[in-house]
Amino acid sequence: MSKQLRVGMIGYGFMARTHSNAHNRLNNFFPVEHKIVLKACTGLEADKVSQFAATWGYERTEDDWRKIVAADDIDIIDICTPNNTHAEIAIAAAEAGKMVFCEKPLARTVAEAQTMVDAVEKAGVPNMVSFNYRRVPAITLAKQMIDAGRIGRPFHFRANFLQDWTISPDVPQGGDALWRLDVKAAGSGVTGDLLAHNIDVAMWLNGPITRVTAKTETFVKERMHNITGKMEPVGIDDACLFICEFANGSLGLFESTRYARGHKALKTFEMNGENGSLAFNLEEMEYLDFFEYKGTEADTRGWRRIHVTNGEHPYMNRYWVPGLVIGYEHSFLNALADFVAGVESGVPAEPTFRTGLQTQKVCEAVLKSGRTGAWEETGVEL
């Protein structure tokens, strides 16, 4: 394998770990033409960068992301930094002719996301937003079943993403991981961090969301800021509920919060159509539940669980043998495999930055509706 794709990693947090794991394992599991090489990494604190490089096998460290973007021996810039840095790094990477892989949400705002789309499209460089849940085999199977007409005309799409890790008012905002609570770094709270995942999957499975109306809430109004050392107002949404209309005439219902005591990452969706329904729960991610109405006899009709581990299921022929499961980390591996396959075939893998921009538009309309209380148009491309 003589061809290489050399990765420059920006960041060393949780997401940088999930991506680095995928980079390391891609060539073990997927027959792509390129060998992934972990060339360089960088981040804010030198000792953490060195530790990260040693743990994951990066060849060298740099003290500034600009050096990685400018380096001749790097092909892909992988952005795993807080949301407020995505645009600057992605635009610089595109201008330097690099491929860009970016953590979600694409940006803090639609305006920022648009500048990123403009930059990668002008440069003509491969780009992808890391909405990893699309690549959970059960969710990819749901997409295949919906496209094959197995549930027929859709009526409802409902989804949750529930966590409970910020209930204590003693949890500070700002800095490592906790930048998610700092509106200047994150742009929003659960809307950008959690609902964006559900919106991406919803629009992939059920088409564009056209209008939304939302209720957002910030339960803890002030938190100590790790960087300033002062109590500061909390500017993010702690919880967000919204209903919406899809372009195909179906209705959506979404809930996300970090205040659902007992739930660490309860991420579910259900879709109901004329001929059947599909349901998914991340806590049992190897299953897809299917209620088939059309073509089944009334006396034996019922929900069935599909154990999505067979060779004919999406991605599963790359792993073990039927019945044996894969996990959360493989969704990143599957996404990277699709990205590299897209680079090799010239057919870009989804979700591109342009697709990520559509999710950003829904998030922004949701946040706006949370403030105005009105129905808001999303402006998503139809």
In the complex with ligand SOE, which residue's Cβ is closer, 161 or 290?
A: 161
Specify whether the CB–CB gap between 213 and 230 falls below 8 A.
Answer: no
Footprint (CB under 6 A) of ligand SOE, residues 263-282: 265
Shortest distance, CB of residue 327 to ligand SOE, whole angstroms? Answer: 13
In the complex with ligand SOE, which residue's Cβ is closer, 52 or 131?
A: 131
In the complex with ligand SOE, which residue's Cβ is closer, 13 or 348?
A: 13
In the complex with ligand SOE, which residue's Cβ is closer, 18 or 358?
A: 18
Tokens at 24, concatenated: 């390391």
Residue of 239, 87, 226, 51 whose CA lies nearest to 160: 239
Residue of 131, 163, 127 whose CA lies nearest to 15: 131
In the complex with ligand SOE, which residue's Cβ is closer, 75 or 238?
A: 238
Shortest distance, CB of residue 155 to ligand SOE, whole angstroms? Answer: 28
Shortest distance, CB of residue 112 to ligand SOE, whole angstroms? Answer: 18
Shortest distance, CB of residue 73 to ligand SOE, whole angstroms? Answer: 30
Tokens at 198, concatenated: 């559900």
Footprint (CB under 6 A) of ligand SOE, residues 150-209: 163, 193, 197
Footprint (CB under 6 A) of ligand SOE, residues 96-155: none
Tokens at 256, concatenated: 């996300």
Residue of 165, 160, 124 whose CA lies nearest to 343: 124
Shortest distance, CB of residue 61 to ligand SOE, whole angstroms? Answer: 24
Question: How many CB atoms lie under 10 A from the CB of residue 186?
Answer: 23
237 binds ligand SOE (CB under 6 A): no
Does the N-terminal peptide bond of residue 82 adopt cis geometry, omega within 30 degrees of 0? no
Residue count at the site for ligand SOE (CB under 6 A)? 4
Shortest distance, CB of residue 362 to ligand SOE, whole angstroms? Answer: 16
Shortest distance, CB of residue 328 to ligand SOE, whole angstroms? Answer: 8
Helix (H) or strand (E) holding 251: strand 251-257
CA atoms within 13 A on the CB side of 359: 29
In the complex with ligand SOE, which residue's Cβ is closer, 131 or 242?
A: 131
Instruction: State the DSSP string of 291-321.
Output: EE-TTS-GGG--EEEEE--STTSTTGGGSS-
Question: How many CB atoms lie under 10 A from the CB of residue 59?
Answer: 12
Instruction: State the DSSP string of 161-226.
Output: EE--TT-STTS-BSSTTGGGG-HHHHSSSHIIIIIHHHHHHHHHHH--EEEEEEEEE-S--EEEBT
In the complex with ligand SOE, which residue's Cβ is closer, 74 or 240?
A: 240
Q: Determine the residue with CB nearest ligand SOE.
A: 193
Phi and psi based region of residue 152 (left: phi greater than 0; alpha: psi -120 to 50; beta: remaining): left
What angle, 0 to 180 degrees and rounded to 10, lies between the N-to-C axes of helices 86-95 and 110-123? 10
In the complex with ligand SOE, which residue's Cβ is closer, 140 or 163?
A: 163
Q: Strands 276-281, 127-130: parallel, antiparallel or unpaired by DSSP? A: unpaired
In the complex with ligand SOE, which residue's Cβ is closer, 129 or 141?
A: 129
In the complex with ligand SOE, which residue's Cβ is closer, 62 or 286?
A: 286
Shortest distance, CB of residue 104 to ligand SOE, whole angstroms? Answer: 6
Q: Strands 127-130, 222-224: parallel, antiparallel or unpaired by DSSP? A: unpaired
Binding mask 247-266 for ligand SOE (x = CB under 6 A): ------------------x-
- Report CA torsion sign: 253, 256, 257, 261: positive
Judged by the rule CB under 6 A, the positions of this chain that interact with ligand SOE are 163, 193, 197, 265
